[in-house]
Amino acid sequence: MSTTLEKPADLGRDTTGSAPGAGIRPSDTTPRTPGRVSLWLRTHARDLVWLIPVLLVSAVVNFLNVGGSPQRIDDEGTYTAQAWAVTHLGELAHYTYWYDHPPLGWLQIAGYTQLTGAFERWDVAVLAGREAVLVAALVSVVLLWALARRLGMSRVAAAATGLVFALSPLALQFHRTVYLDNVAVPWLLLAFFLATNRRGQLAAFAGSAFAFGIAVLTKETFLLALPFLAWVMLRSARRETRRYTLSVAASILVLIGGSYLLLAAVKGELFSGTDRVSLMEGITFQLASREGSGSIADPDSLINRTLGMWWQLDPVFIVLSLVAAVFALLLPRLRPYAVLVLAMTAFMFRPGGYLPVPYVIMLIPFGALLIAGAADSAVARIRRRSASHRGLATGFVAVAAVGAIVAVPLWATQLRGFVLADLDAPLRGAEQWLEQNATTDQRIIVDDAMWVDLVRAGWDRENVIWYYKLDTDPAVQADSPNGWRDADYVVTTDSMRTFPGAFPQVQQAIDNSVVVASFGSGPQAVEVRRVTIDGAEQAAISLDDAVSQRARLGAELATNPEITLEDADRDRLIAGQVDERIIAVLAALAGSGSVTVSGFPVVSGEGDESFRQLAISSISGAPVADGDRLTPEGRALLDSLTGAYEPAEVAVSGDTVVLRYPISLRPLLP
């Protein structure tokens, strides 16, 4: 069943009884034909009363704390960096584009960020990408509403569809993540909405084919929905024009798909060749050579972890979607969408197949549509005593009611985490540590979520190496002839720890490095590791030697009566926890007068086992700072610190000067 808008009577006709324009003089009492916008608003006023609150709730919940939860991941960084490369580097990707995905997805993100200035508004680049995909999610809410109403669902059910789509913790997790699938969803929904049109089908079907083509060129896995879109078109097509309208739609779809082939052909990268990427290689990788996700029976398999993550986020939505899909097989208007959900769910378990983590994104809107649509139809059947399948309808309503009761506390807990938790703090902390303690000429192996931020902070793009490329991109390998040995730091995240051994050079860098700063814990943990050419074992030996040297020198310094410091700081000197350059500076100052130490501030992320900052408040009784300015004694102090004793950073706060020394993994003093 479908609903159509009625054209108001006499719209566009002269109702005065006179010939058009004859003897008509404007006056205040002359009735005016309402404008198209005002007429549309009056016609859809009741729909807007329901839709606008759904949109507002969706926007608030989705955007609130978008920078805190979930933590940024590598895939987000990749798509954001590719969009940033389009707008800031004039390139299709920040590394060699090798046809792993069609580029239209991040081109749309790039267009949004360029039009809105999103990259300039956010300090963290990935959040500009998140803004773009959240706007796409709000567009999807509107299209879901329109599709639900087109399918004959009540306004209550259409509103429920939008709310479930926007507020399910499973949906919210993925709405806030920069996946190409999120950009493709509104195009897919638009394709299905236009495919159900009963008027002007030539334009509607052409538009549907165009929208579906854009969806597929945004994320290629959406091609799986083609049989179901064709089914909807066949059901909706008028018999007298079916052959013509479907032929036009098919032709448009082929032309759009052919544009991707044309792009590769123009670049000379359609087929495989020596020292070049190719579209055929990308397709072969995606369809044949990519490693499968393993068996559902294997608790350590990728498919098991992926399904477990989905289930942990929202088991209620998953169960209700599948139950609603089974019930909707009895409902002709919802049957194509029910078969879509069930078939694509079964497709996940094909032997040897690869299951992408964002695969579920395409199913979420149809799951929400089926839950609300099946409940709407079931309630209607129960009210009509003569309706068929009333027993099944009653059973589904009971299951849906139980699901709603279970979902309320579960969703409340999950949503509270989304709007309150700051899971991204470890990544921000690691970035800040690098900006303050590493130099821009040092090479850093990173999760791609950090790539744009570090390049914007001043690093040359060649010195910020996306870990995936160190083992796979010949251009990156050419810039790193010594492999991992050319890197100074490696920043490890859960993404890098998930595939041990998959990237040999990255693994070597990790194995031959020591942790110098750590942020967060568990899956959110981020470690900044200093690469050591001699290996982590030798670095540990050198560090033990340094601690012994510090303890010996610190114990002597701690007894010097010219140095004033707290007992806790004295204990740190004796324990060998204070950097030997600080010990040498204090010894020199104590040799010519008294010195007051305010403390050894901890560098964020470094814990309390190593102190390489020194806070001094006075020398020989004279303050070294006044307000935020150095006194003559303070300036003399800094002028005297040269060579190995020159601090990497100096900060003045109140009456204190804080000296920060660079990272050292070995003894620096004889």
* Residue-wise pLDDT tens digits, 522-547: 999 999 999 998 888 887 877 788 88
- Spell 49-65 as b/e; 16+ CB within 10 A means b: ebbeebbebbbebbbeb
CA angle 191, 239, 199 (to 5 degrees): 50
Question: Is the CA virtual torsion 63, 68, 70, 73 positive or negative?
Answer: positive
CB 276 within 8 A of CB 269: yes
- Spell 525-558 as b/e; 16+ CB within 10 A means b: ebbbbbbbeeebeebeebbeebbebbbebbeebb
pLDDT in tens, 164-201: 999 999 999 999 999 999 999 999 999 999 999 988 99
What are the C-alpha distances in Å from 494 to residues 74, 136, 465, 640? Answer: 9, 27, 17, 44
CA angle 253, 258, 260 (to 5 degrees): 115
**Overall average pLDDT of the 232-240 stretch:** 94
**Angle formed by the axes of helices 390-420 and 45-63, to 10°?**
40
Q: What is the pLDDT of residue 157?
A: 97
pLDDT surpassing 70 at residue 634: yes
More confident residue, 46 or 537: 46
pLDDT in tens, 477-498: 999 999 999 999 999 999 888 8
Q: What is the pLDDT of residue 490?
A: 97
Question: Is the CA virtual torsion 608, 612, 618, 624 positive or negative?
Answer: negative
For the chain, give the longest Cα–Cα distance: 111
pLDDT surpassing 90 at residue 217: yes
CB 308 within 8 A of CB 207: no
Eight-class DSSP state of 276: B
Burial (CB < 10 A; 0-12, 13-18, 19+), residue 118, is buried
> Above pLDDT 70, what percent of the chain?
93
Residue 517's DSSP bridge partners are: 528
Question: Is the CA virtual torsion 214, 108, 48, 35 positive or negative?
Answer: negative
Question: Is the CA virtual torsion 200, 202, 205, 210 positive or negative?
Answer: negative
Distance CA 342, CA 325 (A): 7
pLDDT surpassing 60 at residue 12: no
**Angle formed by the axes of helices 315-328 and 335-347, to 10°?**
130
3-state secondary structure of 595: strand
Banded model confidence at residue 367, pLDDT cuts 50, 70, 90: very high
Residue 649's DSSP bridge partners are: 660
Task: Name the pTM for this structure.
Answer: 0.90
Q: What is the pLDDT of residue 210?
A: 98
Banded model confidence at residue 10, pLDDT cuts 50, 70, 90: very low
Banded model confidence at residue 621, pLDDT cuts 50, 70, 90: very high
Phi and psi for 212 in degrees, rounded to 5?
-65, -40
Q: What is the pLDDT of residue 8?
A: 38
Question: Is the CA virtual torsion 512, 517, 522, 523 positive or negative?
Answer: negative
3-state secondary structure of 658: strand
pLDDT in tens, 108-137: 999 999 999 999 999 999 999 999 999 999
pLDDT in tens, 316-352: 999 999 999 999 999 999 999 999 999 999 999 998 8
Q: Which helix (H) or strand (E) holds 563?
A: strand 563-564
More confident residue, 542 or 580: 580
Distance CA 30, CA 76 (A): 59
pLDDT surpassing 80 at residue 665: no
Question: What are the structure tokens assigned to 192, written together?
Answer: 């299905």
**Overall average pLDDT of the 63-91 stretch:** 97
pLDDT surpassing 90 at residue 205: yes
Q: In what order do the strands lie in the sheet with 444-446?
A: 464-466, 444-446, 489-492, 526-531, 513-519
Mean of the per-residue pLDDT values of the chain: 90
Distance CA 9, CA 338 (A): 38
Omega prior to 662 cis, within 30 of 0: no
Question: What are the structure tokens assigned to 382, written together?
Answer: 């129960």
3-state secondary structure of 629: strand
Q: What is the pLDDT of residue 323?
A: 97
**Overall average pLDDT of the 253-270 stretch:** 91
Write down the number of H helices and E strands in the chain. Answer: 28, 13
3-state secondary structure of 646: coil
Q: What is the pLDDT of residue 3?
A: 41
Phi and psi for 654 in degrees, rounded to 5?
65, -120
Question: What are the structure tokens assigned to 136, written together?
Answer: 């796409």
Banded model confidence at residue 41, pLDDT cuts 50, 70, 90: confident
Phi and psi for 455 in degrees, rounded to 5?
-65, -40
Distance CA 617, CA 2 (A): 79
More confident residue, 264 or 541: 264
Q: What is the pLDDT of residue 386?
A: 64
CA angle 212, 107, 215 (to 5 degrees): 10
pLDDT in tens, 418-449: 999 999 999 999 999 999 999 999 999 999 99
Question: What are the structure tokens assigned to 316, written together?
Answer: 């209620």
pLDDT surpassing 50 at residue 17: no
Q: What is the pLDDT of residue 544?
A: 83
How many CB atoms neighbour CB 28 within 10 A? 4
